[in-house]
Amino acid sequence: MEKSTSIPKDELLKVQRFLSEVKDTNEDTEYDPDQEYIVNTIIQLVKEQEKTSITEDFNVPYIHPMITVQKWSTELKDLVDKLLYMD
C-alpha cells in the first residue's frame, strides 16, 4: 500500500497527464524545459514512496531522466493513480 504524499493533488494530476503523454512518445528523451519541474516531482514522489529501483535509475548520472520515466511509465502511472484515488 502506498503512503500518503506531500505532493499536492493538482501536481499529481499534472504528473498523471505528463505520464500519459510520455507513454505515447517512444524514443524521444527530450521534454520541454517548462516540464522539468514535473520530472523533479516524479523523482521526489518515488523517493517519498521508497520505490528504490526507480530512485536508483534516476540516480545514474549518464542516463537522461526521461529514459527512466519511459522505462517505468506504467509503474509510475499506477502509483500516481493510486495516490490520486486514495481518499
What count of Cα atoms within 13 Å lies in the side-chain half-sphere of residue 9? Answer: 5
- Separation of alpha carbons 9 and 7, rounded Å: 7
2 part of a folded domain: no
Q: Does residue 4 sit within a domain? A: no
Q: Is residue 59 part of a domain?
A: yes
Which pTM was predicted?
A: 0.86
Q: What residues make up the domain containing 27? A: 9-84
Question: Considering the domain boundaries, does residue 3 fall inside one?
Answer: no
**Residue in 3, 6, 82, 71 with CA at minimum distance from that of residue 44:** 6
For the segment 31-71, what is each residue's pLDDT rounded down to a tens digit?
A: 678 888 999 999 999 999 999 999 999 999 988 888 899 89
Number of domains present in the structure of the chain: 1
- Rounded mean pLDDT, 9-15: 95
Angle at 33 between CA 5 and CA 42, to 5 degrees: 20
